[in-house]
């Protein structure tokens, strides 16, 4: 199935894209090729193929949530490059 230049222009207009003539030509060929591959897939007999959501079986591996003690304020502040004992100090990022 061939995609015409007019169809590419129409689709570009829907997407609010401005395309050059070279891009229209390129996309027309590429979209036609893609639709050709889809037509090939439509020729396959898939009547006895079960639908699936993944090619391989995927199982979520979950672990139990464990309540662990938090770090103390002193331990946290020991890792900060600059602090006042209660808060991290960082360089000003907003001019004020």
Specify the pLDDT at position 16.
Answer: 96
- pLDDT band at residue 95 under the 50/70/90 scheme: confident
Q: How high is the pLDDT of residue 24?
A: 96
The predicted model scores a pTM of: 0.50
Q: What is the pLDDT of residues 1-52, one digit of tens each?
A: 789 999 999 999 999 999 999 999 999 999 999 999 999 999 999 899 888 8
Class of domain 5-42 (CATH, top level): mainly alpha
Please choose, from the candidates 58, 70, 12, 67, the residue with its C-alpha nearest in 3D space to the C-alpha of residue 20: 12
Question: What SS3 state is found at 88?
Answer: strand
Q: What is the pLDDT of residue 38?
A: 93
């Amino acid at each position: 199935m061939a995609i015409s230049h007019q169809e590419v222009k129409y689709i570009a207009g829907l997407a609010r894209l401005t395309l050059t003539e070279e891009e229209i030509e390129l996309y027309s060929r590429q979209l036609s090729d893609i639709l050709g591959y889809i037509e090939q897939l439509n020729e396959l007999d898939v009547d006895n193929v079960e639908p699936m959501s993944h090619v391989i079986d995927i199982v979520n591996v979950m672990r139990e949530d464990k309540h662990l003690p938090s770090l103390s304020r002193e331990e946290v502040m020991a890792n900060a490059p600059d602090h006042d004992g209660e808060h991290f100090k960082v360089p000003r990022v907003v001019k004020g």
